[in-house]
Chain A
């Protein structure tokens, strides 16, 4: 034990002692004592490197998650006749029952589902198509095009929403104005247009970023593979769809997964639009419902239950996507 501590406090000495001994197998430290000394030094350093992050993880992640679950089982009880302080009582699953039977929450889930169904395929297909086109080398000014497409990523979500809100607003928007001159009147924030309007903001913000991810993955596809497919008689479109796309599957799955998780947290854009159109209520999406329950209605139990439901839905959907991608991905794994 004493060798361990001395080696730990004097790493340099342990190292030289190790190096002086002849006939050792290669560079591996062979003696059990020095090996465990090195090992404990490594573990110490590892602890120092990881501890700050894990303290943070515990404080702002693990404790709050358990806090949310705990909150969801309790409710503030109004004491009879106003005597004594407000008590917090255990109510079991009552808050969950309230959330899941609340039509405004279910409507929010419906909105999110519809949003997902429109947004994810559009985003993935458009970003992938652009990446394939740029990768094919058919486009001039590739670097410029990429920078242009990527630019909206540098625009904060709330500002993207402000820009588009003003572009949707009659009297401010040159688009509505020009359409008006052509005798076309559209209410871009109407009952049927408000969800596409939100999809458009999200598309605009994220298209270029995801294109860059796909493009980077495509650049890593070995050129010989593509050349081989060309020799086999595949045209550019066929080579792209049959050869390149399957090879960047991991990127596709990753983008779909992150987009899904992000989309379930839809908040900023509808929150801003809700200031300007009655079509977006204060509980338009599950996240807005949670915010409204917690900070407008001060019903912490309800808000916590709704957030746990949203968390469960997120986990279930992510798990579903990864299961599905693993299953459909198996044949290719076998090929290798």
Chain B
């Protein structure tokens, strides 16, 4: 960093050691993913023998076709399910929570901080506490083992409200609202036309957080779903892995399936990098 004073720069020896340390940690985070990549691309027998690191024996296409053929093409179903739960769920969930966080920041009303504390309590309460009552509620309403039994609860994102409030304070100056009111725009119109646009990077951050959380979600589907056709990828791979201890032909498909399941999140993080970087900074400073 050019603005760092010269006296602060570590001496050459220290600098080498520090670089080596960081490199070591980067290897630690990257190598397992690299292993997954290799294992998914290699021929099935290579997985069980030690020649995984050798070059050759690649058969990524056959691995993929085996993955999508396994158990009558279940994996494709799981993937579509996960995309529906995560992308649609995160989008709707972020809209709801950012709108709520914005209202917390911009309006005054009675018991505001008490209500906000209730929202924050939602961050702290373990999902397991909610899972059993939710399961019983879903059984009573006949929603258990349906798409909705997973989709509705994952919309709830109290941390998104917290972030939404912080982002509103940071990105939407009160003067802009005053100006919009002076122009005769209604409150909701102002929100949709002006504020939501200014909240863009914050919205993307909340969306990404929720997308990751839903894509990772494992406990709720496990409780709610018994029909394998409704499983998300996470639960499906768990089921296949439990088969693998009995029938090892499941190992290669779990490996290839795991690699494919990482791709959407990596793509989302890379494509939306510009947004979540600024969002994360705003969220962590205050």
Contact = CB atoms under 8 A, between A and B. Distances in A.
Interface of A: 11-12, 15-16, 19, 27, 38, 41-46, 48-50, 52-54, 56-57, 59-65, 67-68, 71, 126, 130, 133-134, 136-140, 145, 148-160, 162-167, 171-172, 174, 177, 204, 207-208, 212-213, 216-217, 219-220, 223, 226-227, 230, 235-236, 239, 250-251, 254, 261, 264-265, 267-268, 271-272, 275-276, 287, 290-291, 294-295, 300, 303-304, 307-308, 310-311, 314-315, 318
Q: For A158, A275, A294, which residue has the most chain B Cβ atoms within 10 angstroms?
A: A158
Contacts of B281: 216, 219-220
Contacts of B137: 63-64, 67
B182 A216 contact: no
Interface in B43-84: 47-48, 50, 52-53
Contacts of B50: 174, 177
B178 to A, nearest CB: 7
Chain A contact residues: helix, strand, loop or mixed: helix
Interface in B114-163: 118-119, 122-137, 152-153, 155-156, 158, 161
25 contacts: A16-B184, A46-B107, A49-B188, A63-B133, A67-B137, A68-B133, A136-B18, A138-B19, A139-B18, A148-B29, A148-B30, A154-B262, A155-B262, A157-B216, A167-B32, A216-B280, A267-B128, A271-B218, A275-B242, A291-B128, A291-B223, A294-B135, A300-B132, A304-B133, A308-B129
A256 B192 CA distance: 36
Contacts of A217: 284-285
Interface in B227-286: 234, 237-238, 241-242, 245, 251, 254-255, 258, 261-262, 265-266, 268-269, 280-281, 284-286
Interface in B76-115: 96-97, 99-100, 102-104, 106-107, 109
A64 B39 CA distance: 43
Nearest to B47: A172
B119 A57 contact: yes
A318 to B, nearest CB: 6
B23 to A, nearest CB: 8
Contact of A71 (B33, B132, B161, B182): B132
A311 B126 contact: yes
B8 A236 contact: yes
Given A139-B18, A151-B29, A64 B134 contact: yes
Top 4 A-B pairs, shortest CB-CB distance: A45-B187, A67-B133, A137-B1, A64-B133
Contact of B186 (A41, A164, A287): A41
A7 B222 CA distance: 52
B113 to A, nearest CB: 14
A99 to B, nearest CB: 13
Given A53-B99, A156-B261, A304-B132, A42 B4 contact: no
Q: For B47, B100, B102, B118, which residue has the most chain A Cβ atoms within 10 angstroms?
A: B100
A136 B4 contact: yes
Nearest to B102: A49
A291 B222 CA distance: 10
B29 to A, nearest CB: 5
Contacts, number: 286
A166 B40 CA distance: 13
A162 B124 CA distance: 27
Contacts of A308: 129
A208 B33 CA distance: 14
A71 B187 contact: no
Given A166-B255, A223-B3, A45 B109 contact: no
A250 B284 CA distance: 9
A303 B218 contact: no
A272 B238 contact: yes
B124 A314 contact: yes
B191 interface: yes
Nearest to A286: B128
Contacts of A19: 182
B234 A208 contact: no
Contact of A154 (B23, B265, B286): B265
Nearest to A64: B133
B15 interface: yes
Contacts of A68: 129-130, 132-133
A163 B10 contact: no
B261 to A, nearest CB: 6
Contact of B22 (A53, A64, A145, A291): A145
A62 B3 CA distance: 50
Given A159-B261, A254-B284, A45 B130 contact: no
Nearest to B15: A138
B132 A220 contact: no
A261 to B, nearest CB: 6
A213 B212 contact: no
B203 interface: no
B184 A12 contact: yes
Nearest to A211: B25
B179 to A, nearest CB: 10
Contacts of B186: 11, 41, 45
A56 B50 CA distance: 51
Contacts of A60: 130, 134, 152-153, 155-156
A154 B212 contact: yes
B88 to A, nearest CB: 15
A189 to B, nearest CB: 13
Contact of B285 (A11, A12, A148, A216): A216
B19 A49 contact: no
Given A149-B26, A154-B265, A174 B234 contact: no
Contact of B36 (A12, A126, A163, A267): A163
